[in-house]
Amino acid sequence: MATTISELTYELSVRSLTEQESSLNELRTRTGVLLAATAVAIALFGSRVLDDGSLFDLAGTGLALVSFLLSVFVVAPKHSFAFVVDAAAAHETFAREGVSVEDAHTALVYWNREVWEENQAVIDTLVRAFRWACVTLVGAVALWSIGLAIQ
């Protein structure tokens, strides 16, 4: 349990990064399911496109491919995330400068906030890509369904 304001805020900042990492993992899990659904949809309707090749089928396939590519973008590894402090670097910096524990906690709170904001900018982009992947898959299925209904 925190005994000072700096300890409390440090613990909160670490929790924010942990929650952020958890939400990223959840997004990637959901995107994996979407990717599998897209692959199944393409497999089911892809042969129809080769046989019939109507405008609806071709447009649906195009949207499905966009969904597939957006999903791959979301689940692809990103090197821009940071969720933990490099303990050795922090120790060297704080020991060299003779920083007190309370001041170290305070410095880490601000560092964690900066990292959280940088992570969040990337995560927001991934969330937008996920949403567009969902929309394009729904559009693809709708177009394929219209193509089936017309036939």
Q: With a cut of 70, which residues of the chain have pLDDT below it?
A: 2, 50
- Which residues does 104 contact at the CB level (< 8 Å), separation at least 6? 90, 94
Give percent of the chain above pLDDT 90.
Answer: 68
Query: pLDDT at position 33, please?
Result: 97
Query: pLDDT at position 80, please?
Result: 84
Tell me which residue of 54, 22, 49, 33 sits closest to 133, measured CA to CA.
33
What's the Cα-to-Cα distance from 8 to each of 4, 11, 79, 95, 112, rounded to whole Å? 6, 5, 29, 22, 13
For the chain, helix (H) and strand (E) counts, in that order, are 4, 0
Query: pLDDT at position 9, please?
Result: 93
Does residue 64 contact residue 140 with C-beta atoms inside 8 Å? yes
Amino acid 55 reads L
Query: pLDDT at position 127, please?
Result: 98
Query: pLDDT at position 64, please?
Result: 95
pTM score over 0.85: yes
pLDDT per residue as tens digits for the range 34-59: 999 999 999 888 777 767 778 998 89
Does residue 109 contact residue 6 with C-beta atoms inside 8 Å? yes
